[in-house]
Amino acid sequence: MKFRAVVAQLDRAVAFEAIGWGFESLRPRVLGVVVAIAAGLVYCLSLSHDVGFWDYGELQTVPYILGLMHTTGFPTEILSGALFAHVVILGSVAFRITLFCALCGVGAAACCYAIALELGAQPVIAAAAALAYALMRLTWSHAASADVMDEAVVLSAATLLCALIARRTGTFKYAAIAAILGGLAVGTHAAVILYLPAAAVVLVAAYRKNWRAILLCAAIFLAVTAAGYAYLPVRSCQVERQRLDPTRQLGLSPGMPIWDWGGPCKARDFVAVVTGRQADAPRGLRGYLALRRYPHYAVFALTQFGSPAEGAALVAAALLAFFAQPRATRKRSWILFVPLVLVTPFAAAFTTESDAARYYIFPALCLWIQIAIGLAAVRRQLHTTALAALGLLIVAFLWQSRGLFEQRNDRLGSTYIAAVKAATSDDAIVIAPWVDATPLAYAAYVERNFGRRFIVFGGAAAFPQQTRRWSRTRFVYEVAERPSVANAAFVARLHLATDLDRDTKVFRLRY
């Protein structure tokens, strides 16, 4: 009896009532910790310690120097990444940013588990579903790399969780927290606007008789969003006033990548950055009006979860789980389909995006929650079978994506930087396409081991007059397009082209 009394006291002492879960036993909390530890262990074992290319290298560079990222700006990602990279002194800056994204992925898995419990799922089934979500290749591949969507997903999931808690408890503080988290989420990626209607529906249902509370939540959300995006013009004006961008010394206009992308110091340029006009984002919005394309959009959505078969299986399982639920539960859980429905026309029509699958990480989280809730409605005798099936699926996901563990040995970025340094003079101008320029910017502005070289994003054809002027006083090197197969062997063979006139001081680096 004494032992039971001690356990009961311990249970009450560590109760999670402060965040609204209010579990009656210790097991759900332990399972939540297990989910977080398991996902974190897998992610950390597959993290790359090196700088990446493309948007990955940009994310590993911009927050540390408090620069500006490409449209739509991502101010929350920049500021939170800067805080983490400067406070956590562990490994290189590139590794810290990647680690931060991995921790966001762990937080999303924990939110997946918590939301499933909030909607009535069994703890063990919810934990298995959360692990399945965390280890599917779509989630794992992005969480183990530097990607802005990792923080966008965890903030979106936390917003939905707080909204559900506010609806259950009737406590306004959770609604206010949801509004704050929603505003921060929009600052990570504009695609979050397509996720937040699910949480908004929950809050409207919770306070449908109290419009003052709804209006206050809306005001908080807008204030937080505006405060985040205010970073863009303020920092842009500061960068231009202090001439922090080295390319300004070359006579280039304001608004160049890394330091001052898009030049949002001016109102017109700020609107262009925030609305995504520079990347032709309005094309994605036109997708909602192309009703004849909707069957194509459905097929497109299924392919984003890995393969059409995997996507069809996941969506079908979520639909079956939804209709297996009691009517009272379906009145709450239907909102989990909202992100998938809203994001698909935009993602399918926004052809400029080269990695549309990232938009489906949060919809995948919602679908796994739906599955967990549906399994709670089946007969108890089937719970063991369902749990065994989820366990086999988790093992299958681990086996399918086991190649991601090799990322920890990736040194392609460092090899590429060393090859460019060896092939160019110290005070040269290096012109490189966006994909290959971001690791060079990381070396120049973060590690500061790139000598006095200037990095110019683009191609020599985009700066014909400037290139002729630069070549009179400096050597100018243009990096050719990288082969489709990106490995260290190609990078190591980076060399000067022999077909260019050396008297012009303009050289091309080829693979």
- Residue 152 falls within a domain, yes or no? yes
pLDDT tens-digit series, residues 123-172: 999 999 999 999 999 999 999 999 999 999 999 999 999 999 999 998 89
220 lies in the same domain as 172: yes
Is residue 9 very low, low, confident or very high in pLDDT (cuts 50, 70, 90)? very low
182 lies in the same domain as 330: yes
pLDDT tens-digit series, residues 161-186: 999 999 999 889 999 999 999 999 99
- For residue 287, is pLDDT > 60? yes
- Residue 1 falls within a domain, yes or no? no
pLDDT tens-digit series, residues 315-364: 999 999 999 888 888 888 999 999 999 999 998 988 887 888 999 999 99
- Residue 477 falls within a domain, yes or no? yes
- Residue 247 falls within a domain, yes or no? no
pLDDT on residue 165: 94
- For residue 217, is pLDDT > 60? yes
pLDDT on residue 283: 78
175 lies in the same domain as 129: yes
385 lies in the same domain as 487: no
Average pLDDT, the chain: 85
Q: Which residues contact 43 (CB under 8 A, 6 or more apart)?
A: 102, 105, 106, 140, 143, 144
pLDDT tens-digit series, residues 443-472: 999 999 988 999 998 876 777 788 888 888
Which long-range contacts (C-beta less than 8 Å, at least 24 apart) are formed by 215-218? 216/176, 217/175, 217/176, 217/178, 217/179, 218/179
183 lies in the same domain as 89: yes
Is residue 1 very low, low, confident or very high in pLDDT (cuts 50, 70, 90)? very low
132 lies in the same domain as 210: yes
33 lies in the same domain as 78: yes
The rounded percent of the chain whose pLDDT value lies above 90 is 50
pLDDT tens-digit series, residues 369-424: 999 999 888 766 677 888 888 889 899 999 998 889 988 888 888 888 888 888 88
Tokens of 37: 């530890």
- Residue 117 falls within a domain, yes or no? yes
pLDDT on residue 218: 95
pLDDT on residue 425: 84
Angle at 432 between CA 426 and CA 434, to 5 degrees: 135
pLDDT on residue 12: 44
Domain that holds residue 336: 24-231+276-407
Distances (CA, A) of 272 to 58, 193, 232, 288: 20, 17, 12, 21
pLDDT on residue 40: 93
pTM recorded for the entire structure: 0.89
50 lies in the same domain as 33: yes
pLDDT tens-digit series, residues 228-269: 999 999 999 999 999 999 998 888 888 899 999 988 999 999
Q: Among 407, 436, 460, where does a domain finish? A: 407
CA distance 493 to 351: 33
pLDDT tens-digit series, residues 21-67: 444 466 778 888 889 999 999 999 999 888 988 889 999 999 999 99
pLDDT on residue 482: 60
Q: Among 407, 433, 450, where does a domain finish? A: 407
Tokens of 497: 């082209």
386 lies in the same domain as 447: no
Per-residue pLDDT, averaged over 426-439, amounts to 88
- Residue 251 falls within a domain, yes or no? no
pLDDT on residue 508: 63
284 lies in the same domain as 402: yes
Q: Under DSSP, is residue 431 helix (H, G, I), strand (E, B) or coil?
A: strand
Backbone angles phi, psi at 350, to 5 degrees: -85, 75
301 lies in the same domain as 417: no
466 lies in the same domain as 354: no
Q: Among 378, 407, 436, where does a domain finish? A: 407
Partner residues linked to 510 by β-bridges = 495
Number of domains in the chain: 2
